[in-house]
Amino acid sequence: MNSEDNAILIFSKNPVEGEVKTRLIPEWGTEGALKIYKDILKKTIETVKQSDVSGIYLFCTPDLDNPFLKFCSLQYELKLELQQGNNLGERMANAIQSVLQQFANVVIIGSDCPELTCNDINLAFDKLNKKYDLVLGPSEDGGYYLIGMNGDYPDIFQGINWGSNNVLSMTRERIKLHHLNAYELEAKWDLDRPEDVHRYFRSRGS
C-alpha cells in the first residue's frame, strides 16, 4: 500500500462550550462536555498520525476561526478545511470530491469513536486499494464511524435521515442500489451519552 495515495478527513464541529456533546451536559456540565470533546478529538488525531496516510485534513464547521482547531492544525501538521454543504451528507460528499482530485483513496472519520485504531484505518485503505469501492465502519448506534471511497459516489449520501438510527441501513441500501462493492470493518461504539463517557474512562483504566 502506497501511503501517498491515501488521505484521511477528520470531521469536527468547532469545540465551543455549550455547543458540543450536549447530551453530556446534564451530568458533566458545559465545561466538562467541552473537555471530553477536545480529549476525544486529540486522541483521534493522534491515532490518525500513526496510520499509513499521507494527507491528513481537519474539516470543521461552521468556520475556520476556532483557536483550538488552529492549534491542532499547527501542532499535528493538519490541513484545516471548511465543511461545505447544507447537511452532513452534502458536506461529506463535497469534501471527498475535493480531496479525490489529489488522492486515490479518501477516508472520512468523526471524532467520536475512542475504539478507532491505526490498524482500522490501515485496513480501510488496504481494502480500497484492492477490489472494494467503499469501506464502512459501522457504529453500535446505527450510524458509522468511518466511510472510505476510491471514487466519487455522491449518491451514497443522498436521501439519508442523518438524525436517525437508520443511517447505516439506509447507506447499505444506497450502496446496493448503485451496485457498489463495500467492505465493512468491525462494529464499534461512539461516545455520545453519559454512559459512553464512563465506558471510555474504564477503557483507559481511569
Helix boundaries (H) for 17-117: 25-49, 67-75, 88-99
Residue ranges of domains in the chain: 3-204
pLDDT for residue 163:
87
Position 139 scores a pLDDT of 96
Could you tell me the pTM of the whole model? 0.95
- Per-residue pLDDT at 18: 96
Question: Using an 8 Å Cβ cutoff, are 109 and 116 in contact?
Answer: yes
Q: Which residue has the cell 462550550?
A: 17
Q: What grid cell was written down for 148?
A: 472510505
The answer to whether residues 21 and 33 touch, using CB atoms and an 8 Å cutoff, is yes
Q: Is the dihedral of CA 136, 137, 140, 145 positive or negative?
A: negative
For residue 15, what is the DSSP state? -
* pLDDT score at 201: 83
Tell me which CATH homologous superfamily contains domain 3-204.
Answer: Spore Coat Polysaccharide Biosynthesis Protein SpsA; Chain A (3.90.550.10)
Distance CA 89, CA 155 (A): 9
8, 175 contact by CB (below 8 A): no
Residue numbers in the chain where pLDDT is lower than 70 = 1-2, 205-206
How do residues 146-203 score in pLDDT, each as one tens digit?
999 999 999 999 999 998 999 999 999 999 999 999 999 999 999 999 999 988 888 7
**Vertex 138: Cα angle to 55 and 125 (nearest 5):** 30
Residue 35, CA distances (Å) to 24, 38, 149 in order: 11, 5, 32
Q: How many CB atoms lie within 10 A of CB 171?
A: 22
Phi, psi for residue 203 in degrees, rounded to 5: -65, -25
